[in-house]
Structure 1
Amino acid sequence: MATHRRPKQPSQARVAVLTFAAAATVVLSAQSAWADPSTNTPAPSVDDVKTQVDGLNSQAEKATEQYDGAKEKSDGLRQQASQLQDEVARTQSQVDQLEQGLASVAGQQYMQDGLDPSIQLMLTANPGGYLDQAATQHQASISEAEALKALQQAERTLNQQKQDAATTLAQLDTTTASLNDAKSQVQSKLQQSQALLNSLTASQRAAVLAAQQQEDGGEVSRSSSRASLAGLPQASGQAGSAVQAALSRIGDPYKWGATGPGSFDCSGLMQWAYEQAGIQLPRTSEEQASVGTSVPSLAQAQPGDLVIYNAEDGYEGHVGMYIGNGEVVHAPHTGANVRIMQANALPIATIRRV
């Protein structure tokens, strides 16, 4: 869901798009409905609206990656908290059993130890048997001391587990708040973007969407893409498997926060594709920008490499997978499908070989 800004030297496709947008702007300026009668300020041009929509999409993508990271952390913390709570329950049961055992032994000793041991020896009819019993009681005392030691250790373990669980639950609360905040930001940016598009006429909206589509990689469908894939270099190994998996999703819709198999956001597509090849990538594009080894330039890229792009503020917010012939497969943004685009269509932050 990136802001699909071209490099400073415009391509022919970019010139054609801007020409189309300029023509739409002329039509737009002739429509009095676009002017505010109270201020006589003309409404923004189609190109202005597109620029604003692109900016909102970029902000939404950044929030989406924050959401993805928070969700991954939240899921991990939730699982960790559940495991800790299970451990607390098991240790508590162990403590209860040890306490019950010690209480029983203490009760028996209280009943049996009413007389001094020397007097018990004098009064017994079987001194040898008494000594044997005393030895047994001595051994029982040793076992009792060991049980007491085990109880103390179990109590220490229980207290530590309770502290760990409380800390994890507190972290989960904080992460959940971040998750909800990022979700609200995504929804807000997408609503603003849609409101801008809705302010246009049907033809003007079509001009903006056509410009976006061209920058995303052009019109896409499963059938039309098969022919264009015929000339791609054949990649082998796990990278080749990941490329084939990603290409198999061409035409699937973008959905923020999605990791497949029927819809994806940009980093979700990368994670899903490499998972099919037996490799687990981190969830967000920012994390994916640190995996594997760095590739110095696009000229040295190989199929399967991750191409991470810079957003307007330098944030590593969009990612695609290099497939050869100077192209990447990617999931662009809300309203677009998985498709192929020129790898240098956006400012590249880094290229990573998994």
Structure 2
Amino acid sequence: MAAHRKPKQRLYTGPAARTAATLALTGAATAAALPGPAAHAEPQRTPAQVKSEVDRLYHEAEIATERYNGAKEKATAAEKALDDLRDEAARRTERLNTSRDELGAFAAAQYRTSGLGPSVQLALSSDPDQYLERASYLDRIADRQSVALDRVRRQVARIATLRAEAKGQLADLTARRAELRKSKATITTRLTEARRLLDRLTPTERSSYENSDHGSAVRASRSLPRGSVQAPSARAAAAVAFAYGALGKPYVWGATGPSSFDCSGLTQAAWRSAGVSLPRTTYTQINAGRRVSRSELAPGDLVFFFSGISHVGLYIGNGQMIHAPRPGTPVRIAPIDQMPFAGATRVA
């Protein structure tokens, strides 16, 4: 039976080859001329739109910063608790080993006298009084052994509890660290995008956006008559004085001083200088004292902004506050009505 062969394709030669080549070149040229998929060019924004978008990105970065600060505080607490549990477990394990050695001594004493019954030992004893004294001693050993055994049991149970608690703390610490990484990634992304948009502005426009209040902040710092801060308490006066001393220092997210601050880091550091410990984040600082209305504000009060309580400043009177605004803009004096007011707290 004849084998089935695939027919050979015949190559073009002569005029046919020239015609095929011409058609191929024409097709390629036509394809090149056809428009491809449209490239998505970024929309052109006006300087005002760029500034508005940058403000939004900075606000989102600040929200993420406060989440980062909260997660960091909790991670630090979880790490300390884990270390404490491990230290206690190590100390109890050492005491357990001592108790086990004591039990071993009791067991050895029992073994040496366990071969003969009490009546036989009494019959063979040359000194019955000595025997009775030794028997009483062994009874006391047995009582002590019972106490030691009970102590060992309690120590073993406590060590098991400590190890379980340490395992839970380790899981909590792992979760906090994951939250830190997530918040940090969000912050980095938002700040990178903000810088990219700012690069579109002219030097004059960018300077106007980033440093509009820098000069007034520095002048206020230099002209402040030290020791004359008017405040309802000595501690509030000390906090306000610290804030004035921080004017002009850079904003750095996650920073609590002394050379740079974020918003809640500044208020925490100011009140720390007055001997008062505040929690780390805006959404916990708002509950750190007595709430006051806007009409009741006095120097030293904490003033909060935005619905999510994502920004805080230190009130200094006359509708003004000192705050750490955003990256690129240092600690400065600003009116409290430049952002949506969310509430105020009087610390002391």
Give yes or no for TM over 0.5: yes
Match of 2:218 in 1: 222
Instruction: Pick one of 258, 262, 265 that aligns with 1:265.
Output: 262
Task: Name structure 1 gaps, 5 residues minimum.
Answer: 1-36
Counting only pairs closer than 5 Å after superposition, residues 38-57 of structure 1 correspond to structure 2 as: 43-57=44-58
Matched residue SS, 1:136 = helix
Listed one character per residue, the Cα deviations across residues 53-83 of structure 1 (whole Å, up to 9, x for unaligned) are 0000000000000000011111111111111
Structure 1: which amino acid aligns with 2:81? Q
Q: Are 2:234 and 1:241 aligned?
A: no
Separation in structure 2 between the aligned mates of residue 38 and residue 123 of structure 1, nearest angstrom: 110
Listed one character per residue, the Cα deviations across residues 102-138 of structure 1 (whole Å, up to 9, x for unaligned) are 1221122112110011011001100111001100110
Alignment check: 8 A CA contact 2:221 2:244 kept:
no
Structure 1: which amino acid aligns with 2:90? A
- Relative to the length of structure 2, the TM-score reads 0.84
Listed one character per residue, the Cα deviations across residues 78-111 of structure 1 (whole Å, up to 9, x for unaligned) are 1111111000100111111111211221122112
Alignment check: 8 A CA contact 1:64 1:256 kept:
yes
Structure 1: which amino acid aligns with 2:248? G
Separation in structure 2 between the aligned mates of residue 246 and residue 317 of structure 1, nearest angstrom: 19
Instruction: Pick one of 330, 338, 347 that aligns with 2:331.
Output: 338
Match of 1:207 in 2: 205
- Relative to the length of structure 1, the TM-score reads 0.83
How many percent identity over aligned positions? 36
Matched residue SS, 1:132 = helix
Match of 1:305 in 2: 301
Match of 1:114 in 2: 115
Aligned CA distance change for structure 1 residues 99 and 46 (closer, same or farther; 3 Å):
same
Give the superposition deviation at 1:221. Answer: 5.2
Separation in structure 1 between the aligned mates of residue 84 and residue 115 of structure 2, nearest angstrom: 48
Alignment check: 8 A CA contact 2:298 2:315 kept:
yes
The number of aligned residues is: 308
Separation in structure 1 between the aligned mates of residue 240 and residue 96 of structure 2, nearest angstrom: 54
Matched residue SS, 2:293 = coil
Give the superposition deviation at 1:212. Answer: 4.9
Give the superposition deviation at 1:233. Answer: 5.7
Alignment check: 8 A CA contact 2:240 2:316 kept:
yes
Match of 1:23 in 2: none
Separation in structure 2 between the aligned mates of residue 295 and residue 145 of structure 1, nearest angstrom: 63
Structure 1: which amino acid aligns with 2:79? R
Separation in structure 1 between the aligned mates of residue 266 and residue 68 of structure 2, nearest angstrom: 16
Structure 2: which amino acid aligns with 1:155? V
Match of 2:345 in 1: 352
Structure 2: which amino acid aligns with 1:58? H
RMSD of the alignment, in Å?
A: 1.9
Separation in structure 2 between the aligned mates of residue 146 and residue 40 of structure 1, nearest angstrom: 82
Matched residue SS, 2:116 = coil
Matched residue SS, 2:261 = coil
Counting only pairs closer than 5 Å after superposition, residues 1-354 of structure 1 correspond to structure 2 as: 43-202=44-203, 206-214=204-212, 217=213, 219-220=215-216, 222-223=218-219, 225-227=221-223, 234-235=230-231, 236-297=233-294, 299-310=295-306, 314-354=307-347
Separation in structure 2 between the aligned mates of residue 244 and residue 225 of structure 1, nearest angstrom: 10
Higher alpha-carbon deviation: 325-334 or 234-243: 234-243
Give the superposition deviation at 1:303. Answer: 0.3
